[in-house]
Amino acid sequence: MDLNYSQEELAFRDQVRGWLQANLPADLRDKIANYEELTREDLLRWHRILAKQGWVAPSWPKEWGGTAWSVVQRYIFEEECGYAGTPPLIPFGLSMCGPVLLKFGSEAQKKQFLPRIYNGDDFWCQGYSEPGSGSDLASLKTKAVRSGEHYLVNGQKIWTTLGHYADWIFCLVRTDSGTAKRQEGISFLLIDMKTPGITVRPLILMDGGHEVNEVFFEDVKVPVQNLVHKEGEGWTVAKYLLGHERMNTGRIGGSKRELAKLKEFAAQQTKNGGTLMDDTRFRDRLSRLEVELMALEITNLRFLDRMRRTGQPPGADVSMLKIKGTEIQQGLTELMMQAVGPLAQPFMAVNGDAGFDEFTAAIAPRYCNYRKTTIYAGSNEIQRNIIAKMTLGL
C-alpha cells in the first residue's frame, strides 16, 4: 500500500504545475483569487491557451485532440488547475456535448462541431431543466415537432448557466408525447442560439450575479441534421452524459487552495489580542473541514486506483465525491464569511466609491452563491438516491 503518487506521476504533476505557473495570465489569476465575475472573454481566453497547448480536452480520443493521459494524469491535471486557481473550463462543450458527439454523433456532426468546441470558437450551454422539470428531468415538456427538414421547437428551459454567453445550446426536447414511458419520446437537439424565436432572460441570483438564465423557444426552426442519435432516444444520451467523467466532482484542488487562503485570512483577523487562528471554537471548525477534505482526497484516489486496476468506469458510489466535495466547498465559504466577521455585511457601493475592500465585500455573496453547489448537477439528495439504488440495492 502506498498513498503517494509514483515518480512518473509526480514528474507529471510538476510539469503541469510549472506550466500553469508560467502560462496562467496574472490578471485572470487575480480575478479568481479576488472572487470577481469572469467575462465570456476571460473564459474563452483561458480555454484557447489550453487548446494551443493541446490540454483542453484530455479525455477526448487522440485524433480529436485528446492527450492520451491515464485517468490518474487527468485527475492530477484537473486538481492542479484547481489548486493554481485557473478559470474553470466550461464543461458544456468540452465534457458534455463533445463526449456525446464522440459517442453518438454522425461523422458530419463531429466534423462540424468538435474542432470548434476544442478551439473555443463556439460557446455552449445546456438546455435540460425546465420550470416543471428539475430533479424529475424525464417530465420535460419542451416540444419539437418534425416539419419537413426541420423541427419546430416550442417551450422553455431554465437555470441555463451562461446561456447569455452561448452560441449553441444542446437540448432535451420531447418529440413524441404519446409514449408509454416518459423516458421515451425524448430527443437530443443542437440548437444555434442565433435562431429566430429564442429569447434569453437573465435570472439574477441572490448574490447579485448573472450566471443563469431562462431560455424561451417560440417556433424555433432546427434543421433535422442537428438531431443527435436517434429520434426518441435522447434519454440514452442524457444518461450517458450523467455517467461520464465524474472523477473530479470533488474539486479537491480548488478546495485546498481555498483552505490555504482561509487559514492565511483567519491569521490576519484579530481577536482577543491574538488572531482568529488561536480561537479554539473557530479553529476546531476549520480543522474538521480540513480533515474532511483530507479524507475526501484519499477516497478520490482510492476510486481512481480502483478504476485503473479494474479498467471499469466509476460506479455510482462516486456520487459521494459530489456530496462531500460540495459540502466542503460550502463549508469553506461559510468559514470565510465567519472569519470576516461584521465586515461581511457591506455589499455594494450606492454611488461611486464606498471605500470598502472589494475582496472582503465579495466574501458573503460567495457564501450565498455556493448554496447552489448542493443543488446543481443532480442535487445531493438525488446523489443519495443514486447510491441507495445503484450501490446499496434499496
Partner 1 sequence: MNFDYNEEQQLLADSVRRFVQKDYGFEERRKIVASAAGHSDAVWGTFAEMGLTGIPFSPDHGGFGGGATDLLSVMEAFGEGLVVEPFLATLMGAQCVARAGSDAQKKAILPAVVEGRLKMAFAFAEQGARYDLAQVAAQARKSGAGWTLSGEKRVVLGAPAAGRLVVSAMAPAGLSLYLVEAKAATLKPYRTLDEMRAADVVLASAPGELLGAEGGALPVIEAVVDFATALVCAEAVGAMKFSCDATLEYLKTRKQFGVPIGTFQALQHRIVDMFVAYEQAKSMAFLACSQADSATDAKERKRAISAAKIKIADNARLISQEAIQLHGGMGMSEELKVSHSFRRLTMIAQQFGDADHHLERFARSD
C-alpha 157/C-alpha 200 separation (Å) is 10
Q: Please, what is the minimum distance in Å from the beta carbon of residue 201 to partner 1?
A: 34
Among 65, 290, 373, 374, binds partner 1 (CB under 8 A): 290
Query: Per the residue annotation, which of 78, 79, 233, 245 is the catalytic one?
Result: 245
**Spatial CA neighbour of 80 closest among 251, 302, 220, 288:** 251
Among 37, 218, 284, 358, binds partner 1 (CB under 8 A): 284
69 binds partner 1 (CB under 8 A): no
Q: Give the torsion sign (CA, 204, 88, 285, 327).
A: positive
CA dihedral 326, 327, 328, 334 (to 10 degrees): 110
Contact track, partner 1, 322-361, x by CB under 8 A: -xx-------------------------------------
Among 275, 305, 315, 344, binds partner 1 (CB under 8 A): 305
Residue 124 CB contacts under 8 Å (≥ 6 apart), including other chains: 90, 92, 93, 96, 97, 117, 166, 167, 168, 169, 170
Closer residue to partner 1 in complex, CB, 222/318: 318
Q: Please, what is the minimum distance in Å from the beta carbon of residue 303 to partner 1?
A: 9
- Is 381 among the catalytic positions? no
Contact track, partner 1, 224-263, x by CB under 8 A: ----------------------------------------
| Residue span binding partner 1 (CB under 8 A) among the ranges 28-36, 130-138, 189-197, 382-390 | 382-390
- DSSP tag of 377: S
C-alpha 174/C-alpha 138 separation (Å) is 9
CA dihedral 304, 307, 310, 315 (to 10 degrees): 120
Site for partner 1 in 2-21 (CB under 8 A): 2-6, 9
C-alpha 329/C-alpha 347 separation (Å) is 21
384 binds partner 1 (CB under 8 A): yes
Q: Is 123 helix (H, G, I), strand (E, B) or coil?
A: coil
* Contact present, 222 and 177 (Cβ < 8 Å): no
**Spatial CA neighbour of 206 closest among 375, 326, 335, 394:** 375
Among 67, 73, 299, 330, binds partner 1 (CB under 8 A): 299
Q: Please, what is the minimum distance in Å from the beta carbon of residue 384 to partner 1?
A: 4
295 binds partner 1 (CB under 8 A): yes
Closer residue to partner 1 in complex, CB, 78/290: 290
Closer residue to partner 1 in complex, CB, 162/323: 323
**Spatial CA neighbour of 254 closest among 328, 323, 150:** 328
C-alpha 283/C-alpha 390 separation (Å) is 38
394 binds partner 1 (CB under 8 A): yes
281 binds partner 1 (CB under 8 A): no
User: Which residues of this protein are in contact with partner 1, per CB under 8 A?
Assistant: 1-6, 9, 72, 280, 283-284, 287-288, 290-292, 294-296, 298-299, 301-302, 304-306, 309, 317, 320, 323-324, 381, 384-385, 387-388, 391-394
Q: Which residues are catalytic?
A: 245
